[in-house]
Amino acid sequence: IHEPRRVRESRFTQKVAQIVRRGGRCLLPVFALGRAQELLLILDEFWEAHPDLQHIPIYYASALAKRCMSVYQTYINMMNDSVRRRYDVSNPFAFKFVSSLKSIEHFSDTGPCVVMASPGMLQSGLSRELFERWCTDKRNGTILCGYAVDGTLAKHIMTEPSTITRADGKELPLRCSVDYITFSAHSDFLQTSGFIDALRPSNIVLVHG
């Protein structure tokens, strides 16, 4: 069962702020589309309301997410009421405190920051590289915001292991904080059962995918 939306957003922003305020790097492994833009919108709004955080950079590191950002910036009429109201002032997807990170070579890893990188399950790529770089420092933190399947590193670190295995096979101590705050787009039990109760169908067919 999902937590109420406001509770999840508050937990998410407070946890991000907690990590960077203690001098850490905050890693957000995400899928490139949908959830990434949603979380960036939440963070940009939170940073705007908290001047003490505005010197701390927020990056999103996904070429696909960057290419799709123009779609989000264009089709504001397809968004919810809150986003459309904000558009009357300025385009909410023209972020003030978020910038795109082209590659790890363009990243100056010198202090507290927030980095949103794919893939969401930490199997490989930039999110895996940054996690392996940062996981040994207790000041740092990783927040998992999406679903993780068995057998992936993201699922494994939810069990709070003392060590993790790097992609090259070397063992590393896991000292950074790990939190799971789901922003899943799937309906939960109450929503699904409520939908079925409202329809009262004579048959229910379950289909995967």
- DSSP letter string, 176-200: SEEEE-----S--HHHHHHHHHHH-
Is the pLDDT assigned to residue 19 strictly greater than 90? yes
Dump pLDDT digits (tens) for 159-209. 999 999 999 999 999 999 999 998 766 777 888 899 999 999 999 998 876
Phi-psi region of 174 (alpha: psi -120 to 50; beta: other; left: phi over 0): beta
Put simply, whether the predicted model's pTM sits higher than 0.75 gets the answer yes
Cβ pair 151, 122 in contact under 8 A: no
Assess whether the previous peptide bond of 119 is cis (omega < 30° from 0).
Answer: yes
Residue 162 zone, left/alpha/beta (φ > 0; ψ -120 to 50; rest): alpha
Strands 141-144 and 177-180: parallel
Mean pLDDT, to the nearest integer, of 54-58? 97
Q: How confident is the model at residue 102 (pLDDT cuts 50, 70, 90)?
A: confident
pLDDT value of position 88:
62
For residue 94, pLDDT over 80 is answered with: no
Annotation says 208 is catalytic? no
Q: Which residue in 2, 55, 156, 186 is the catalytic one?
A: 186
User: Mutual orientation of helices 5-21 and 35-49 as an angle, nearest 10°?
Assistant: 60
- pLDDT given at position 147: 82
